[in-house]
């Protein structure tokens, strides 16, 4: 056989290997989508933006039959949702090891927007971060952040999410489906909900962490400092000293918050946290992941024109 035939047969075999773990998802009117079988207990992971309702969700199984599902939990900032179905005989996805993902690999976006499996071929172009905010139909009140205050960005709090970037064409109904490698292993979950005109994939490491939290808690617990934030330009002398042009001004401190316990005040400017420069509120949201809950981290602030360090123990925002 020719090299072209070999490649063609290999990609078809990869789709065949992935297909038993790929389901259709009908959770938003006239908006077909795809989901991935997470485990044999009936958990399905899909894209959050394709799930309009918490109940009356239909799953299209690989054999063409349908089953009902309910919502377990959402992670809007990562555009992930976990569903639960009682359908028997599900085949969990085969996830690739994180360190086996390489830029330049050929990859397939696989979807099941109806009863049939579909696929498209592309290249894993790279990885990076995109800033995500709450989708409008599931958003929080405008101007109020989940980390405890107002900020100057529209549409609610934002978070920079790690993603894989591909040149794969995302056809309608592919959101929530897998990015698949040459041996049928799953590289992550594809989504068109992160914007920016890129084809993006939530990688395995993020999926495992997020889905585990949603199954256990029904939500994602993020670190909480309890401050209102505003992007601000630093004076030239501080720009030179810190080698950064901007910081984030504290415009409010919540009563009983970790920020108040740490002695932070309105008017302080945050410029670093846990060794990471803070040039915008997005940078702080990246630091305040669930990994730092209960930990004491060092904050660098500007107060009275001078840089000083403050220790803050990160909490979980009260319900």
Confidence tier at 145 by pLDDT (50, 70, 90):
very low
Q: Which helix (H) or strand (E) holds 139?
A: none
More confident residue, 146 or 221: 221
For 165-216, write each residue's pLDDT tens digit: 999 988 999 999 999 999 899 999 999 866 566 789 999 998 998 999 899 8
Can you read off the two tokens belonging to residue 293?
A: 């809950």
* Mean of pLDDT over the chain: 87
78: nearest Cα among 259, 245, 236, 208? 208
Contact between residue 223 and residue 290 where contact means Cβ atoms under 8 Å apart: yes
> What domains sit in the chain, N to C, each tagged with a CATH number?
1-220 (2.40.10.120), 223-316 (2.30.42.10)
pLDDT for res 283: 84
* pLDDT value at 49 more than 70: yes
Mean pLDDT over 245-260 rounds to 95
pLDDT at 155 over 90: no
pLDDT of residue 196: 60
* CA angle, residues 24, 25, 26, in degrees to nearest 5: 125
Element (H, E) at 58: strand 57-60
Question: Percentage of residues in the chain with pLDDT exceeding 70?
Answer: 87
Question: pLDDT at residue 156 above 50?
Answer: no
- What 8-state DSSP symbol labels residue 234? P
Residues paired with residue 107 on neighbouring β-strands, in sequence order? 122
Whether the pLDDT of residue 293 is over 70: the answer is yes
Each residue's pLDDT tens digit, 64-78: 999 999 999 998 878
Q: Is the pLDDT of residue 13 over 80?
A: yes
Rounded Cα distance between 108 and 16, Å, is 12
Low-confidence winner among 29-43, 248-262, 272-286 (lowest mean pLDDT): 272-286
Q: Is the pTM of this model over 0.75?
A: no
* C-alpha–C-alpha distance, residues 195 and 198, integer Å: 7
3-state helix, strand, coil in the chain (%, to 5): 20, 40, 40
User: What is the per-residue pLDDT for 128?
Assistant: 73
What is the enclosing helix (H) or strand (E) of 7? helix 3-18
Per-position DSSP letters for 198-233, written without gaps between them? -EEEEEHHHHHHHHHHHHHHSS---EE--EEEEEEE
């Amino acid at each position: 056989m020719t090299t072209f035939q070999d490649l063609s047969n290999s990609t078809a075999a990869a789709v065949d290997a992935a297909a038993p773990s790929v389901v259709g998802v009908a959770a938003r009117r006239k908006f077909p989508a795809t989901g991935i079988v997470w485990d044999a207990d009936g958990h399905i992971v899909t894209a959050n933006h394709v799930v309009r309702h918490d109940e009356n969700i239909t799953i299209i199984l690989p054999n063409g039959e349908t089953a009902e599902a309910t919502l377990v939990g959402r992670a809007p900032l990562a555009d992930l949702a976990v569903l639960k179905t009682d359908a028997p005989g599900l085949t969990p996805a085969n996830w690739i090891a994180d360190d086996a993902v390489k830029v330049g690999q050929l990859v397939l976006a696989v979807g099941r927007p109806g009863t049939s499996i579909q696929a498209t071929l592309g290249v894993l172009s790279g990885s990076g971060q995109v800033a995500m905010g709450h989708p409008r139909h599931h958003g929080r009140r405008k101007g109020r952040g989940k980390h405890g205050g107002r900020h100057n960005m529209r549409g609610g709090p934002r978070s920079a999410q790690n993603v894989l970037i591909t040149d794969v064409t995302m056809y309608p109904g592919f959101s929530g489906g897998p990015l698949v490698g040459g041996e049928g292993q799953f590289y992550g979950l594809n989504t068109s909900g992160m914007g920016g005109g890129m084809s993006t994939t939530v990688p395995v490491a993020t999926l495992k962490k997020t889905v585990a939290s949603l199954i256990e808690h029904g939500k994602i617990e993020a670190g909480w400092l309890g401050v209102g934030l505003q992007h601000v330009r630093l004076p030239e002398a501080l720009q030179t000293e810190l080698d950064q042009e901007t910081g984030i001004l504290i415009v409010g401190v919540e009563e009983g918050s970790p920020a108040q316990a740490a002695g932070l005040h309105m008017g302080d400017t945050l410029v670093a946290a846990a060794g990471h420069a803070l040039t915008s509120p997005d940078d702080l949201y990246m630091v305040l992941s669930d990994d730092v809950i209960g930990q004491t981290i060092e904050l660098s602030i500007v107060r009275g024109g001078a840089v000083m360090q403050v220790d803050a123990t990160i909490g979980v925002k009260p319900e």
